[in-house]
Amino acid sequence: MLLHKISTSSHCSSSYLLKRNLSSSSSYICTAAQHDYQVDEQTRQAGFSIHPDELASIVRGHNSRDLKAHGEVEGIAKNISSCLQGGIKSTEVENRQKIFGFNHFLEKPPRSFLSFVWDALQDLTLITLMVCAAVSLGVGLATKGWPKGIYDGVGIILSILLVVLVTAISDYKQSLQFRDLDKEKKNIQVHATRDGKRQKISIYDLVVGDIVNLSIGDQVPADGLFISGYNLSIDESSLSGESEPVYVTEERPFLLSGTKVQDGSARMLVTAVGMRTEWGTLMATLSEGGEEETPLQVKLNGVATIIGKAGLGFAILTFLVLVARFMVRKIVNNEMDRWSSDDALRLLNHFATAVTIVVVAVPEGLPLAVTLSLAFAMKKLMKDKALVRHLSACETMGSANCICTDKTGTLTTNHMVVTKLWVHGKVKDINGDGKDAIRSSICKSVLDIMVQAIFHNSAAEVVKGDGGKREVIGTPTETAILEFGLLLGGDSDALKKETKIVKIEPFNSDRKRMSVLVALPSGGYRAFCKGASEIVLKMCDKILDPNGKPISLSEELRQKITDVMNKFASEALRTMCIAFRDLGDKSNDEGIPEENLTLIAIVGIKDPVRPGVREAVQTCLAAGIKVRMVTGDNIHTAKAIARECGILTDGGLAIEGPEFRSMNAKEIKEIIPNLQVFQSVFLNLWLATLSEQWFTCFGDFLGYGSFEAVG
C-alpha cells in the first residue's frame, strides 16, 4: 500500500512537471490560442468568446503569452461574461455548465458483489479448507460411496460458503455506504461571490466565471486566475511533489485545482472545472491499489500455514507407517507376488486416513467464528453511526489503548460566541449586561476605534441573506468577533467606504495574529492587530484609558491584564487581544508594525462542549482507553475544556510543547502515563515524538484517532 502511494504521488508529480516543462519550453508556439481553437456557434450564442479548452489550457500550461493576448484577467473575465466585482448571476449557472462542464471528476464504477466474493476467497485458511474439501469428497466417494462419502466434504464447503457470503455482503454494503460518504466528504462549501454578494456554495455547483474567496487552509476548488489578494502562497506538493510554496501574484496569477492555500488570502476567477482542470486530468490516470493484510489476517494465515504443515507432516507419516505395516505383512506372508482388489482398497483406506488427519487438523470453524464476531462488531459500530469500510478492520479497534483528540470542532461545537469583554480595566458580561448597557458603559472614542479594529481587521464578511437579513460568513472565530462588532452597532459597509485597506497580513498558525494597515479618511495611516492574547500583549506598550487616551502600559498593569486573560482561559474561553497604532502620514513600507501598539480590549470567546462528549470519554476510560487532548490553544483554556469533558482528572498532567520537547527520554517515560493535556502549535511533531517515546519506553500500542475518535 505504501509503495502504491509513493508510485501514485510520483506519477502525479512527473506528469505535472512534464506538462509544465513542455508548456514552458514550447515558447507558446506562435499564438496557438488564435489558431488551434475555434469558438463554436453554441458557445457564441451563450455569450462567450473563448473556447473552453483554450481557456483551460491557459492556466494548466501557465501560458502567460496567451493570457496577455486575451487582455490579462480582465480580458478573460470579459470573454466569459463575468464581473470581477459582483461575479456571475445565479440564473446563468445552468448555461455555463452546458458550455464549460460540471465541477465533477470521473469516478470508477463501483466494484461488483462478485469481486468482493473473489477477495474473500483469497484467504489462505479458506484455500486450505477448499483443498481439504476436494480431497475429502474424492476419497469419501471412493471409500464410502454415495451419499455417506460426501458428508465431510459438503460440511466443509458449506462452512466456506457461509464465511465468504458474510464477508462479501458486509464489505459490499459498506463500500456502497462509503461511496456516498466519500461524495459527501468531498462536497466542500466554498465562499463565492454571486449576484453581487458573497455566499457559500457547494464545490459541485462551482462554474466557470465564479469569483471564489480563498483563505489559509482552503483547497483551491478549480483552476483559475488570481484577481487580488495579500501574501498568497500555495502548496502545490499534491501536483508537483515540491514542498516549497508557490507565491501567486498578478504577474504569476495561475491557480490549480487540488492545491492548498498555505498563507495569505485572495480572490480568484474560475477558468476551468471538473475534468478540464489539471487535477482532473491527473485523477483520470490514477488507479486503486491493493490493500495490506490486517494483523489478525496475518496471524490466521500463519496459524493455517503451521497447522497445514503439521497436519500434512503427520498425515504423510501416518500413511507411510500404515503402508510399511501393510508391506511388512505381505512380505511375512509371502504375498508380494499376489495382489487383489482388497489390497488396493486397503491402501486407499490408508490414504483416506491420512486425508482425514489433514481435514481434522485444519479448523474450519475458526474463520467462521472470526468473521461472525467481526460482522457483529460492525453492526454495533453502525448503530453508533460509525462506518467501517472493511470487515477485518474491526479487529484493530480493540488494539487501541490511547486516543489523542483535538479540541476545537471535535470536543467542542466549533460555534463560537463572544461572552466576555475586558475594556479600560473592567470586565463586561455580554449576555448578562445587554448590548445597550455595554455600549453606554464604553467611552465613545474607545467604542469607535474598537468597531474599526473589528471590521477592518477581519477575514469574515457581512452579507445580506434571504429576506435582507444580515449574515456573517467566515471562520467560527472571525464570525464570533464580527457578530460582536454588529452587536456594538458597527456598520460594515459604511466603514469600508470611509477607509482604504493598504496592506493585510492574514492570520496563520505561526504568527497567531492578523494585522491590517488602513488609510484614514482624515489623512494618515492606522495599523490594527488582533490575535492570541499572550502574543499581542507583548507587542503593546500603551493602553487606552476610560477616556480613550493612550497611557503607558506599566508592568503592574500588564500583570493585571495577564491575570484577566488567565481568568478568562480558566472559564474555558479563548482570549484575543485587539490593538492598534497610528502611523501619521507615512506607512511602513517594510510591513505592518508589530511593536509599540496600543491595547484596546480583550475578548473572551466561548466554544461550547459538544453534547455527549463527557459520556463518550467516560466510556473510553471504563474500557481502559486513555483519552488525551492535543490543541494549539492557550494552556489554561485547554485545561478548562479538558476538565469539562472529563479528560483532565486529579493527578493528571497538562504540559506545553516547549517544555515537552526539552525533556529527555527518561523524563518523558515518567510523565507519559499521567499526560492528559498537551498544548502545542506543532501537533504533528508532538505526536511523532510521543509515538516514538511510547514504543521505546513501553513497547505498547498507541491508537491515534485522527482528531476525531471521541467527537
CA distance 40 to 29: 23
pLDDT bin (cut points 50, 70, 90) of residue 701 is: very low
- Tell which wins on pLDDT, 411 or 263: 411
pLDDT score of 91 more than 60: yes
Question: What CATH number is associated with residue 266?
Answer: 2.70.150.10
Mean pLDDT to the nearest integer, 626-637: 82
pLDDT score of 698 more than 50: no
Say whether both 482 and 619 belong to one domain: no
Give helix 124-143 / helix 151-186 axis angle, nearest 10°. Answer: 160
3-class state of residue 80 by DSSP:
coil
User: Is 383 contained in some domain?
Assistant: no
Q: Which pLDDT value is given to residue 552?
A: 92
CA distance 555 to 541: 10
User: Is 393 contained in some domain?
Assistant: no
pLDDT bin (cut points 50, 70, 90) of residue 280 is: confident
User: Is 159 contained in some domain?
Assistant: yes
Q: Which pLDDT value is given to residue 631?
A: 81
Q: Which pLDDT value is given to residue 32?
A: 38
Q: Which pLDDT value is given to residue 602?
A: 94
Question: What CATH number is associated with residue 652?
Answer: 3.40.50.1000
- Tell which wins on pLDDT, 18 or 568: 568
CA distance 528 to 597: 9
Say whether both 471 and 584 belong to one domain: yes
Q: Which of 28, 17, 35 is nearest to 63 (CA)?
A: 28
* Residue 482 · residue 454 · CB < 8 Å: yes
pLDDT score of 22 more than 60: no
CA distance 115 to 113: 5
Q: Which of 109, 43, 84, 119 is nearest to 209 (CA)?
A: 84
Say whether both 300 and 422 belong to one domain: no
Say whether both 298 and 422 belong to one domain: no
Say whether both 477 and 503 belong to one domain: yes
Say whether both 216 and 246 belong to one domain: yes
Say whether both 218 and 138 belong to one domain: no
Residue 106 parent element (H or E): none
In the chain, the percentage of residues whose pLDDT exceeds 70 is: 76
Q: Residues 316-330: pLDDT tens digits? A: 888 888 888 888 887
Least confident range of 7-16, 456-465, 605-614, 618-627: 7-16
Cross-strand bridge partners of residue 629? 405, 677
CA distance 150 to 160: 15
Residue at a domain's end among 367, 386, 409: 367
Q: Which pLDDT value is given to residue 18?
A: 41
pLDDT bin (cut points 50, 70, 90) of residue 467 is: low
Q: Which pLDDT value is given to residue 454?
A: 92
Say whether both 467 and 585 belong to one domain: yes
Domain range holding 435?
417-606
Q: How many folded domains does the chain comprise?
A: 4
Q: Residues 342-372: pLDDT tens digits? A: 776 677 677 767 766 766 666 655 665 666 6
User: Is 440 contained in some domain?
Assistant: yes
Mean pLDDT to the nearest integer, 242-254: 81
Q: Which pLDDT value is given to residue 329?
A: 82
Q: Which pLDDT value is given to residue 264?
A: 80
User: Is 385 contained in some domain?
Assistant: no
pLDDT score of 540 more than 90: yes
Say whether both 344 and 482 belong to one domain: no
Residue at a domain's end among 543, 572, 606: 606
- Tell which wins on pLDDT, 191 or 357: 191
pLDDT bin (cut points 50, 70, 90) of residue 636 is: confident
pLDDT score of 42 more than 90: no
User: Is 71 contained in some domain?
Assistant: yes
Residue at a domain's end among 367, 387, 405: 367
The DSSP 8-state label assigned to residue 503 in this structure reads E
Q: Which pLDDT value is given to residue 4?
A: 37
Mean pLDDT of the chain: 77
Q: CA dist 546 to 429, 488, 542, 601, Å?
A: 18, 17, 13, 11
Mean pLDDT to the nearest integer, 443-453: 90
Q: Which pLDDT value is given to residue 23?
A: 40
Least confident range of 109-118, 414-423, 530-539: 109-118
Mean pLDDT to the nearest integer, 45-74: 87
Q: Which pLDDT value is given to residue 14?
A: 43
Give helix 341-361 / helix 151-186 axis angle, nearest 10°. Answer: 30
Answer yes or no: 406 catalytic.
yes
CA distance 379 to 370: 14
Q: Residues 506-530: pLDDT tens digits? A: 877 677 888 999 988 888 889 999 9
The DSSP 8-state label assigned to residue 522 in this structure reads T
Length of the chain: 711
User: Is 59 contained in some domain?
Assistant: yes
**One of 210, 263, 406, 633 is an active-site residue; which one?**
406
Q: Residues 295-320: pLDDT tens digits? A: 666 777 677 677 777 877 888 888 88
Q: Residues 372-431: pLDDT tens digits? A: 666 666 666 666 666 565 555 566 666 677 888 888 778 888 788 898 999 888 888 887
Say whether both 591 and 451 belong to one domain: yes
Question: What CATH number is associated with residue 514?
Answer: 3.40.1110.10
Residues in CB range of 103: below 8 A, 6 or more apart: 203, 204, 205, 206, 207, 221, 222, 273, 274
Residues in CB range of 421: below 8 A, 6 or more apart: 427, 428, 430, 438, 484, 601, 602, 603, 604
User: Is 191 contained in some domain?
Assistant: no
Say whether both 427 and 518 belong to one domain: yes
Least confident range of 49-53, 178-182, 431-435, 695-699: 695-699
Say whether both 474 and 597 belong to one domain: yes
Q: Residues 125-184: pLDDT tens digits? A: 677 677 767 777 776 777 677 877 777 778 778 877 887 887 788 778 767 766 766 666
Least confident range of 63-72, 128-137, 636-645: 128-137
Q: Residues 554-587: pLDDT tens digits? A: 999 999 999 999 899 888 888 999 999 988 776 6
Q: Which pLDDT value is given to residue 603?
A: 93
Q: Which pLDDT value is given to residue 601?
A: 93
